[in-house]
Chains A and B, each alone.
Chain A
Amino acid sequence: DAMVIQNPRYQVTQFGKPVTLSCSQTLNHNVMYWYQQKSSQAPKLLFHYYDKDFNNEADTPDNFQSRRPNTSFCFLDIRSPGLGDAAMYLCATSRSRVTQYFGPGTRLLVL
């Protein structure tokens, strides 16, 4: 089945220790997104790729970076995680505006 896969599902890291979350898709969609969602809040768009074009949201901290080495894979790098970065991180893909397909998310815990 075509899908959006996120690994790992749960990630524990230490304060200040870099961490990378990964997302892969078999849908061959040209747009990939990273969202941060904290408890009882709306998913917040961090950035998205339209093909290879990277689009950063104005309020995304510099601590968050992303890489998209090819159509199928996209990575979220948190260079120095703080306690406030503990959240669910959602990856999504789309081919058009009609809809986005989400992965199951990675829950990040920062100790």
Chain B
Amino acid sequence: DQQVKQNSPSLSVQEGRISILNCDYTNSMFDYFLWYKKYPAEGPTFLISISSIKDKNEDGRFTVFLNKSAKHLSLHIVPSQPGDSAVYFCAASDGSGTYKYIFGTGTRLKVLA
């Protein structure tokens, strides 16, 4: 049973426009969320995080929104750049103190020049 789902395997966006990547989760105990970016042949790189006490966190061009009632989070990239083309993973952790994260299957973003 996939507790963290990224239902869009791929997304194409024109350069300069907004990219919106979505993530849904089923476990209401999840209280901390991460977004990672992964280029081919490299490990995932941390992008941005959000705690369940917030509904928004912003870092430059990247903003993550959390809707706890819908168990949904989204990553907005504005403006999108060709260098943003990568696979994006969301990951969720509960407050059990185990420092474990459950990852989604990823969304491949392609930013078209």
Contact pattern, A 26-68, Cβ under 8 Å of B = 1, otherwise 0: 0000010001000011111100101000010000000000000
Q: How far in angstroms is the closest Cβ of chain A from B32?
A: 6
Residues from chain B with a CB closer than 8 A to the CB of A94 are 99
Q: How far in angstroms is the closest Cβ of chain A from B31?
A: 9
By DSSP majority rule, is chain B's interface helix, strand, loop, or mixed? loop
Identify which of B2, B42, B46, B49 contacts A104 (C-beta below 8 A).
Answer: B42
Contact B105 A90 (CB under 8 A): no
Contact pattern, A 1-33, Cβ under 8 Å of B = 1, otherwise 0: 000101000000000000000000000000100
Question: Is the interface on chain A under 10, 10 to 19, 20 to 34, or 35 or more residues?
Answer: 20 to 34
Contact B98 A104 (CB under 8 A): no
Question: Is A81 located at the chain interface by the 8 A CB criterion?
Answer: no
Q: How far is the CA of A99 from the CA of B105 in the complex (A)?
A: 18
Contact A90 B44 (CB under 8 A): yes
Residues from chain B with a CB closer than 8 A to the CB of A90 are 43-44
Q: How far in angstroms is the closest Cβ of chain B from A108?
A: 14
Residues from chain A with a CB closer than 8 A to the CB of B34 are 99-100
Residues from chain A with a CB closer than 8 A to the CB of B103 are 35, 42-44
User: Which 4 A-B pairs rank lowest in CB-CB distance, beginning with the nearest?
Assistant: A102-B43, A42-B103, A99-B46, A42-B105
Interface residues of B (CB under 8 A from A): 2, 4, 9, 32, 34, 36, 41-46, 49, 89, 93, 98-106
Interface residues of A (CB under 8 A from B): 4, 6, 31, 35, 40-45, 48, 50, 55, 90, 92, 94, 96-105
